[in-house]
Structure 1
Amino acid sequence: MDFYKDSRFFQNFKEWIYLTKYIIITGGVVSSIGKGITSASIGRILRSYGLKVAAIKIDPYLNWDSGTLNPYQHGEVFVTYDGMETDLDLGHYERFLDVELPGISNITTGKVYQSVITKERNGDFLGACVQIIPHITNEIKEMVREISAKDDYDVVLVELGGTVGDIESQPFLEALRQLRNEEGSENVMFVHVTFVPYLNAAGEFKTKPTQHSSKELRSMGINPNMIVLRSQEPIDDDLKRKIAHFCDVDVKAVVNTPDAQSIYEVPLVLDRENAGQYISDRINLGIDFENDKNTLNEWEEIVNSLKIQDPVVTIGIVGKYVELEDAYISIRESLHHAAAKIGAKMNIEYLSSDVDVEDVDELKAFKEELSKLDGILIPGGFGDRGVEGKFQAVDYAIENDVPIFGICLGMQCMVIQFARRIGMEGANSSEFNTETPYPVIDMMEEQKKIKKMGGTMRLGAYDCKLIDGTRTMEAYGEENIQERHRHRFEYNNEYRDVLTENGLVIAGTTPDNFLVEIVELPDHPWFIGCQFHPEFKSRPNNAHPLFASFVQAAFDNK
């Protein structure tokens, strides 16, 4: 029996089992209007009342995951604890909800089609002609429901990437429409996020794009239950009533989120618009907004701590994707979390490492920019473009006692430059120079046989043992930690002895002491490099200990 096709059985079943509620967030007018922040903010409000909330990001592109996408096109690749390379919005979900999400929280067209084709090859469809409806749409629904089946969630947020009207989104919209019918409209609601432009020449906001976007959604059989209006400035009640009238929604369901100073303000803005109460009433969440205890006051304190204007600490991110801040979004947020914790304002400068180090004037200008910083952070990356600039940044930090933090490739650059400074001329990573006489960074043995690029690195959370007496141990305050990885190359153990004998301290290793995870210099104000990505675990209410220690050192070194 097909559980969801037998409506009579399903209706009887619903009477005695508690069903997870689904909130589906779609977008219209333009992309990048903040659907992810809206989703995360709704989740934060519901979490503040004690509900258990999960989140899903649907990306309609054909890629299986985000791992092979160029950061310039798609921003940062966020890595989950179980090793999935996902869309950056999962980072927003984890930071706002203060949870760790599994990799199945990111659904792509590639995953859906691959799963269906695999089933077809296995003969699972009994010779049927495999079609978008019902096979693809059923697979999408199954993937969405997999999250709610994984744990006892009260609410699952489902964000559909792109905008309504995109051809890639149509199978997902149809699947989500079917989900509403199967789960019951009292258990599923649609939130549509649109942009309301302001025309200076006309001196007014224009609602027509929102009207057309809602009409497009209705043409797919979906009537939005709530409309979130994104705008540069606040929108008045008259305009909300107009939109409610033309888009056929309740006036109370039209809410406005104008541009805010911080993304973490958005839950407070939505709460003031009574979005949480409307959602609770719409899908029967049972929240008593008058009497139930909530933690939004604590969230407001966090937001206020992030708004501090003085004193200021300036950190430079030296990388090769600095033209697009989203390429380093988790690092950016982690720095802000750390600054708030120590009571300072974070000022981030983005410096391109793509420097011609043979050009005297260009190198001089690069070092002049470095001289303005209180601390230097070298993020991860792949490929040899810009690495010589990163080596120069490491050298500058050592020569001038500037606190420096290296993450993944950043740590590898620290090791390489340290090796060069102690006389190992031409030391490098075999990623950048296969003929280097001193490959102090080399590919992991198990990686050398792998030819495919996607999903084949060391990915996800791994245990790490810290060494007593190190600055890293002091920062964490515990010996055993777990952090997320995304890399192919490692510290080469063949050079472990010579590097440590010359002063480079190994501050953390895998529990079996085989792989080096953290290095530091004890006679430097703050010089720590880690092979993992600590930025993925930082939260606005719980700054990562390495980031907090680094920012404090940079502040003290002003």
Structure 2
Amino acid sequence: MTRFIFITGGVVSSLGKGLASAALGALLQARGYKVRLRKLDPYLNVDPGTMSPYQHGEVYVTDDGAETDLDLGHYERFTGVACRRSDSVTTGQIYMDVITRERRGDYLGATIQVIPHVTDAIKEFARGDLEDEDFVLCEIGGTVGDIEGLPFLEAIRQLGNELGRERSLFMHLTLLPYIPAAGELKTKPTQHSVKELQSVGIQPDILLCRSDRDIPVEQRRKIGLFCNIRPEAVIAALDVHSIYQVPLSYHREGLDTEVLRHFGMLASEAEPDLSRWTGIMERVDNPEGSVRIAVVGKYTSLLDSYKSLAESLTHGGIANNVKVELDWIDSEIFETETEALMRLEDVHGILVPGGFGERGSEGKIAAVTFAREHKIPYFGICFGMQMACIEVARNMAEIKGAGSTEFGPCAEPVVGLLTEWSRGNMRETRSAEGDLGGTMRLGAYECHLEAGTRVRQIYGEERIFERHRHRYEVNINYRDALQGAGLVFSGMSPDGVLPEIVELPSHPWFVGVQFHPELKSKPFDPHPLFTSFIEAAVEQSRLV
């Protein structure tokens, strides 16, 4: 029997509903249950694929090619359960589906309304494409009170009634601010948030209260009285120094116990096996050293743009039992400040991540040159691989006009627009004049690794599958010239047309990948490329 847990948020945004959902999923897993996590986002975009990273943070890509909210990254990192296209839905997708059905005549002449047609479509999503999961956790994006979220709240209210209390639970995340002048935590914002939720017909069963300190018994009792729940169901979501401490913290506060009590499942339960998380925290809290990594990007003013990347570097540190200190550098400063490259002298590794557009590209190329000439471990991801190929073309292969057609016409298009490619037995095509949304090379693709190369040694396999999100590729016509200059094409698509990985054997550690390995890394299963990169950074730290 599948049980549904609906997670909502109130008071302010960015309280951490995604982390709360992921941590609860991990706790239920630790008790032996099979879980699935889903995100219902109220914005009108079909997906976040066309949004600026400054608007919505990173775009997380699933194996089946869905562009989704970054919270799905938390879901995968905490549970190891691969998310699918069916685990993310937006208002835009719902309305597109409803309108398409109306145009086909599926509604048999009915007047199309939010209730029941839109809410029915949301409920179909929540209950669809399930297997034998014990728990499905559905996070509702936004904050209670937002007008765009009302259809989703109405849908989960209906679904809760249809399932009954034995199969549904409502968890509400709120804020308990501490007012120094008053010397106490204030419960009124939580009371008002619950009242707003109750006004749409939803009574929360558990309150998860973000706080920077313990919640006194009297405050819990007061919240319980005003919000119509048991004081034991008022759970403190305390601030912690690492997100991987959240499952342990929530367990100590009794979150998983309250969930099982609600479903009448507590009597036969033993303590969960949390050894995975205690082991991770042991390494996080007691590193044997530290390394400093420069991340040279163009969206560094909003670090959520690189959420999975930052976590993957942390995972590489966990694998090597070191702390990874990140120096976020805007690549544009290397184009405007002559002395800016001095910031890279003391780092132990340089990483150039993905990105779009010409802005800051020359600064990224300058960072590649610095890493190559100073023998500092270099990791180029997607755009970072493309800039590495352009740098090698210009400075090692003497192709002075090397550039990318992404920035406009150029004399030597070392990087060009990808117009067709193979996906299994299918051929996919795109055009420069087509829609932007959902038209990139998206999702998991196969890559063959060349024998005797660094990446073959790192992976220990001949065939790998990694997730992509890009529109431009390194031009295979320049392969001979680049390899003649010393750059090895160590990973290729199965048809041998698309370069997937390049490396410089003459360098201590210089690897560029067209895909996004950060999307598959987990704290308990660090991605081998990040593990190897941080290992190289540790070696570099011993030299300086």
What's the TM-score once normalised by structure 1's chain length? 0.94
Cα deviation 1:349-405 (Å, max 9, x = unaligned) = 100001362x4xx131x2111112110010001000110100000000011000010
Q: Which residue of 1 aligns with 2:426?
A: none
Give 3-state SS (helix, strand or coil) of 2:338's partner. Answer: helix
Q: Deviations over 1:141-185 (max 9, x none)?
A: 00111143xx21110000001111110111100000000111112
Is the 1:379–1:410 Cα contact (8 Å) retained in structure 2? yes
Whether the aligned pair in 2 keeps the contact of 1:450 and 1:456 (CA below 8 Å) is no
Query: Which aligned pairs between 1:334-373 and structure 2 lie closer than 5 A?
Result: 334-355=312-333, 357=335, 359=336, 362-364=337-339, 366-373=340-347
d(CA) in 1 for partners of 2:267, 2:470: 44
Cα distance in 2 for residues equivalent to 1:430 and 1:296:
50
User: Which of the numbers 469, 473, 479 marks the counterpart of 1:486?
Assistant: 469
Give 1:268's aligned amino acid: L
User: What's the CA shift for 1:29?
Assistant: 0.3
Q: 1: CA distance between counterparts of 2:232 and 2:268?
A: 18
Relative to structure 1, the CA distance from residue 238 to residue 310 in structure 2 (aligned partners, 3 Å threshold; closer, same or farther) is farther
Distance change (3 Å), C-alpha of 1:449 and 1:431: closer
Which residue pairs with 2:99 in the alignment?
117
Q: Any idea what SS the aligned residue of 2:481 has?
A: helix
Alignment map for 1:534-545 (pairs within 5 Å)? 534-545=517-528
Moved more, 322-331 or 296-305: 296-305
What corresponds to 1:194 in structure 2? 174
CA distance in 2: counterparts of 1:372 and 1:287, whole angstroms:
57
1: CA distance, partners of 2:539 / 2:267: 46
Map of 1:14 onto structure 2 = none
Give the secondary-structure state (helix, strand or coil) at the position aligned to 1:193. strand
Take 2:261 and 2:129, find their aligned partners in 1: how far apart are those partners?
23
Gaps of 5+ in 1: 1-18
Task: Indicate the residue corresponding to 2:73 in structure 1.
Answer: 91
AA in 2 matched with 1:22: F
Distance 1:295 1:368 in 2: 48
2:444–2:468 CA contact under 8 A, matched in 1? yes
Structure 1 stretch displaced more, 244-253 or 536-545 = 244-253
| Aligned with 1:404 (options 356, 374, 378) | 378
How far did residue 305 of structure 1 move? 1.3
Amino acid at match of 1:251: P
Alignment of 1:230-241 (within 5 A): 230-241=210-221
CA distance in 1, matches of 2:34, 2:259: 15
Aligned equivalent of 2:187:
207
Kept in 2: contact 1:317–1:350 (CA 8 A): yes
Question: d(CA) in 1 for partners of 2:334 and 2:538?
Answer: 30
SS across alignment from 2:314: helix
Partner of 1:421: 395
Q: Name the stretch that deviates more: 504-513 or 277-286.
A: 277-286
* 1:66-465 aligned within 5 A: 66-148=48-130, 151-285=131-265, 288-290=268-270, 294-355=272-333, 357=335, 359=336, 362-364=337-339, 366-422=340-396, 423-434=398-409, 436-446=410-420, 447-465=430-448
Instruction: Please report how far the alpha carbon of residue 73 of structure 1 lies from its aligned counterpart in structure 2 after TM superposition.
Output: 1.3
How big is the alpha-carbon RMSD for the aligned residues of Structure 1 and Structure 2? 1.2
In the TM superposition, what is the alpha-carbon distance from 1:464 to its structure 2 partner? Answer: 0.6
Using structure 2 for the length normalisation, give the TM-score.
0.96
**CA offsets 1:330-367 (integer angstroms, 9 cap, x no match):** 0000000110110101101100001362x4xx131x21
- What is the identity, as a one-letter code, of the residue corresponding to 2:481? V
The separation in 2 between residues aligned to 1:408 and 1:220, in whole angstroms, is 45
- Per-residue deviation, residues 398-441 of structure 1 (Å, max 9, x unmatched): 1100001000000000000000002111211110131x211111
- Tell me the SS of whatever aligns to 2:531: helix
Contact 1:49 1:287 in 2 (8 A): no
Q: 1:261 is paired with a residue of what secondary structure?
A: coil
| Residue in structure 2 matching 1:497, options 471, 477, 480 | 480
Deviation at 1:538, TM superposition (A): 0.2
- Residue equivalent to 1:64: 46
8 A Cα contact 1:334 1:547, kept in partner:
yes
Structure 2 spans left out of the alignment, 5+ residues = 421-429
Q: Secondary structure at the match of 2:181?
A: coil
**What is the CA–CA distance in structure 2 between the aligned matches of 1:200 and 1:155, rounded to whole Å?**
40
Instruction: Give 3-state SS (helix, strand or coil) of 2:48's partner.
Output: coil
Identity rate, percent: 50
Rounded Cα–Cα distance in structure 2 between residues aligned with 1:310 and 1:212: 47
The 10-residue stretch of structure 1 (185-194 or 308-317) with the greater mean CA deviation from structure 2: 308-317
